[in-house]
Structure 1
Amino acid sequence: MRRTLPWRALGAAGAVGLLIAGVPRLTGAQPNPWQTLVLLRGIALVGALGLAFLLDDPARHVTAAVPTRRPVRQALRAALVAPLVALWWTAVLLLAPPASRPPAAGITLEAAVTCVFALAGAAAAVRLRDEPRPGPGVAAALLVSAALAPLLAPESWALFVPSADERWAAAHDRWAVLLVVAVVGWGVCGPEPVARRRRRATAARAAGGAG
């Protein structure tokens, strides 16, 4: 399974994220807290765009017939990259200017929500379509959603607040709710539809009988 992972997309996203995080140190810039927060949110989105390709599998129609259920295969893929993602995000936080770095727990929660939504979107695309490489479409949808979210979110549900804002703690309670929603959505979209499973099982038996 490790060889089927989209390492190029993941590596490119990781490299771009680290490069962006290192720009202030490379240039000697001293961004203010809001600028650093926006920078880290952008890097989290870059990482999520890489994870949008995690469920791409050129051999999807072959692996669909294996005994291991699809949610387990998806979970294994996520487990293989999770340590690398954690190390990458730790490096990003360490590269961010310490004087203007937002609270690590809060911004890490935001990054986790963004990444899990990318995985949930990929799982939904796999469930609803037979496309073996849904990553590009999921990444595009994620970009559009990220652009529209700050504009469409109601004021009472403010999410993208500055770290010094008194609403920071309340906003991250909402981010925690979104994390639960994303995890549940991924879980719901994980299993293959029953009708499709039956069609493939019937086709496999027919192919076996013909052989």
Structure 2
Amino acid sequence: MRGVTRSLVVPVWRTLPWRALAAAGALGLLAAGFPALTGAEPAPWQTLVLLRGVALIGALGLAFLLDDPARHLTTPVPVRRPLRQALRVAMVAPLAALWWTAVLLVAPSASRPPAGDITLEAAVVGVLALAGAAAAVRLTDEARPGAAVVAALLLAAVLAPLLEPDGRALFVPPEDPRWPQAHDRWAALLVAVAVAWTVCGPEPVGRRRRRG
């Protein structure tokens, strides 16, 4: 099994959606650095909205991570799909961490929200994108579900702030006294989304049998 996994490293690396990831990364960095480029001094709420938007841009790139043109050819291999997906994430995770660090560095430091809290929000959005992609792969035979996941993420980004209950708000500014409680909920949401991603990882037994 270990030898088979190693033999997958190069093929998986070659099939990663580098164009989508690079486009999202470049656009996110440009957006985060725009105030510095223009000499603007945004208010704290404006920087918060900016960083949340950049986190969404990064998640849109991650939505394509599980796109695999050879999906139907790799299903019969001895390495299970969760491990193949984990291999894709492991290859991209260090680059994503470096990218987000760069985003925080180029964002306006004077009005930037707490780095740990906004990073938690970005992690939730990123893992949500991966969970959505995993769910699309599990529930459909689509080899490239990324575009559909992007559409769902954009819809969720528009509706979530409008539909959230007042007593359990997530999208609050740093000066709001509910900020700590909101990020306790962000942490719980991260766990829930990660569990959903794990559940969606394995291929349904019935589908494996039909292909066998």
TM-score range, shorter chain: over 0.9
Kindly tell me the number of residue pairs found equivalent between the two proteins.
201
2:132 to 102, 121, 124: 121
Residue 164 of structure 1 deviates from its aligned partner by: 1.3
Amino acid at match of 1:146: A
Residue 165 of structure 1 deviates from its aligned partner by: 1.1
Q: Which residue of 1 aligns with 2:86?
A: 75
Q: Which residue of 1 aligns with 2:58?
A: 47
Q: Which residue of 2 aligns with 1:4?
A: 15
Q: Which residue of 2 aligns with 1:159?
A: 170
Q: Secondary structure at the match of 2:110?
A: helix
Q: Which residue of 2 aligns with 1:88?
A: 99
Q: Which residue of 2 aligns with 1:26?
A: 37
Structure 2 unmatched runs, 5+: 1-11
Q: Secondary structure at the match of 1:133?
A: coil
2:24 aligned with 1:13: yes
Of all paired residues, the percent bearing the same amino acid is 75
Residue 37 of structure 1 deviates from its aligned partner by: 0.3
Residue 200 of structure 1 deviates from its aligned partner by: 1.0
What TM-score does the superposition give when structure 1 sets the normalisation length? 0.95
2:184 to 173, 176, 190: 173
Q: Secondary structure at the match of 1:161?
A: coil
C-alpha separation between the residues in 2 aligned to 1:106 and 1:93? 12
Which protein has the larger Cα radius of gyration, Structure 1 or Structure 2? 1
Amino acid at match of 2:197: W
Q: Which residue of 2 aligns with 1:35?
A: 46
Q: Which residue of 2 aligns with 1:209?
A: none
2:73 aligned with 1:62: yes
Amino acid at match of 1:29: A
Amino acid at match of 1:124: A
Amino acid at match of 2:83: V
C-alpha separation between the residues in 2 aligned to 1:193 and 1:75? 18
Amino acid at match of 1:77: R
CA root-mean-square deviation = 0.4
Amino acid at match of 1:160: F
What TM-score does the superposition give when structure 2 sets the normalisation length? 0.94
Residue 13 of structure 1 deviates from its aligned partner by: 0.2
Residue 144 of structure 1 deviates from its aligned partner by: 0.1
C-alpha separation between the residues in 2 aligned to 1:102 and 1:86? 18
Amino acid at match of 2:98: L
Q: Secondary structure at the match of 2:203?
A: coil
C-alpha separation between the residues in 2 aligned to 1:87 and 1:32? 26
2:114 aligned with 1:103: yes
Structure 1 unmatched runs, 5+: 202-211
C-alpha separation between the residues in 1 aligned to 2:109 and 2:54? 16
